[in-house]
């Protein structure tokens, strides 16, 4: 029973992290229907910004956190302006391949600067966040993750629901041409959604870095694991991303615990194929009705 509880808690936390990582991905897809293969590298960039600022600049943590998030925001703006904007209206494969190329570029750049070693952040979280419950001990990191994650989730929920920019973003996602004709500045919406997505990705990367240590290979692998998560949750649903993440995380840890550790990494993709065959728009995705 202890083993089961351990797996359950482990799965929930891993899943929550997957969901958190998937949020930025969903945000880009929602507003510009770009499938971002460079998502894992955006996570890594956030994590390495944080690393560089904590380890070498020796600033206090909250300031570092804010500066790193700002850096990610600017990076998202730049990526959209330089690489994605010329491709508006081009066929899907060019956009997909562009993000694949960007992924290779970012990864190569990070490896050139920091190398492939595993880095860890200095320990800075207060001990109050540690949860003890019988035999189970949850380290403070997970408590902090839960708080940060919930905070971002509510913030973005409110942003999409009530702010004018959020409403513009939803309108562009719904129908780009109609939004254009109603006077929505679609270019600005794209730029903003890339910026916010990079910010969210950077935040998830930092959290992942606190928990697992910072390594570009691990982080970019998580970027690919986002695909099963968002397909399960529905490509354009932020809440779905969290729930899909938790399901995939639980599935992974239970397969790893009870069946075989090597099967762990491939199970999400088997699930992915099954979902695509049975229910392609996921649990909470918007169904596009189009008969072929």
Partner 1 sequence: MRKIHLHPCGNFRERYDLELTVFSTDFGRLWAGIGLMILFAFVPLLASPYMMYVFNMIGIAAIAAIGLNILIGFTGQISLGHGAFFGVGAYAGAIFATALHMPMFVSIPAAGLVTAGIGMIFGIPSGRLKGLYLTIATLAGQFIIEYVLIHWESLTKGTMGITLPPARLLGLPIAGDIGFYYIIFIALAGMVWIAINLMRTRYGRAFIAIRDNDRAAEGMGIPIFPYKLLSFGISSFYAGFAGALWAFYMGSITAEPFNLGLSVEYIAMVIIGGLGSISGSIFGAVFITLLNETLRFATELLMNTGIVSQSGLNVAPLREFVFGLAIVLFILLEPRGLAEVWRIIRSGFRLWPFSY
Residues lying near partner 1 in the complex (CB under 8 A): 33, 35, 83, 86-87, 90, 92-94, 96-98, 100-112, 115-116, 224, 227-228, 231, 262-263, 265-266, 269-270, 272-273, 276-277, 280, 290-292
From the CB of 115, what's the least distance to partner 1, in Å? Answer: 6
From the CB of 139, what's the least distance to partner 1, in Å? Answer: 30
Tokens 């949020």 -> residue: 23
Pick the closest to residue 54 from 203, 220, 206 (CA basis).
Answer: 206
In order of 131, 226, 253, the CA distances from 21 in angstroms are: 23, 7, 18
Shorter beta-carbon distance to partner 1: residue 136 or 263:
263
Count Cα neighbours of 4 within 13 Å in the Cβ-side half-sphere.
Answer: 1
CA distance 106 to 198: 13
From the CB of 32, what's the least distance to partner 1, in Å? Answer: 12
Shorter beta-carbon distance to partner 1: residue 123 or 290:
290
Shorter beta-carbon distance to partner 1: residue 164 or 262:
262
From the CB of 51, what's the least distance to partner 1, in Å? Answer: 17
216 and 116 Cβ atoms separated by less than 8 Å: yes
Q: What is the CA radius of gyration of the chain?
A: 19
Shorter beta-carbon distance to partner 1: residue 62 or 89:
89
62 and 238 Cβ atoms separated by less than 8 Å: no
DSSP 101-150: HHHHHHHHHHHHHH-S--B-PPP---GGG-EEETTEEE-HHHHHHHHHHH
From the CB of 146, what's the least distance to partner 1, in Å? Answer: 29
Shorter beta-carbon distance to partner 1: residue 35 or 52:
35
Shorter beta-carbon distance to partner 1: residue 2 or 290:
290
From the CB of 87, what's the least distance to partner 1, in Å? Answer: 7
């Amino acid at each position: 029973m202890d083993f089961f509880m351990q797996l359950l808690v482990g799965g929930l936390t891993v899943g929550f992290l997957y969901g958190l990582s998937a949020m930025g991905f969903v945000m880009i897809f929602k507003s510009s229907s770009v499938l971002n293969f460079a998502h894992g590298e955006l996570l890594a960039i956030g994590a390495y910004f944080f690393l560089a600022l904590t380890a070498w600049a020796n600033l206090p943590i909250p300031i570092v956190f804010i500066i790193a998030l700002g850096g990610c925001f600017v990076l998202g703006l730049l990526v959209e302006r330089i690489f994605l904007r010329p491709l508006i209206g081009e066929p899907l494969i060019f956009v997909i391949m562009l993000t694949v190329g960007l992924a290779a570029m970012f990864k190569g750049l990070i490896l050139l600067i920091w190398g492939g070693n595993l880095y860890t952040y200095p320990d800075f979280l207060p001990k109050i966040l540690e949860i003890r419950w019988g035999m189970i001990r949850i380290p403070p990191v997970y408590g902090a993750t839960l708080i940060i994650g919930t905070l971002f989730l509510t913030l973005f929920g409110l942003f999409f629901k009530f702010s004018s920019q959020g409403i513009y973003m939803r309108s562009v996602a719904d129908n780009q041409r109609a939004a254009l004709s109603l006077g929505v500045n679609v270019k600005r919406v794209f730029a903003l959604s890339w910026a916010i997505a990079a910010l969210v990705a950077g935040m998830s990367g930092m959290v992942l870095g606190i928990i697992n240590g910072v390594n570009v290979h691990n982080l970019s692998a998580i970027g690919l694991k986002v695909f099963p998560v968002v397909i399960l949750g529905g490509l354009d649903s932020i809440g779905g991303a969290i729930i899909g993440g938790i399901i995939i995380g639980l599935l992974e840890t239970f397969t790893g615990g009870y069946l075989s550790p090597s099967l762990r990494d491939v199970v999400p993709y088997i699930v992915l194929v099954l979902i695509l065959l049975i229910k392609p728009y996921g649990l909470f995705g918007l169904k596009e009705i189009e008969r072929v």
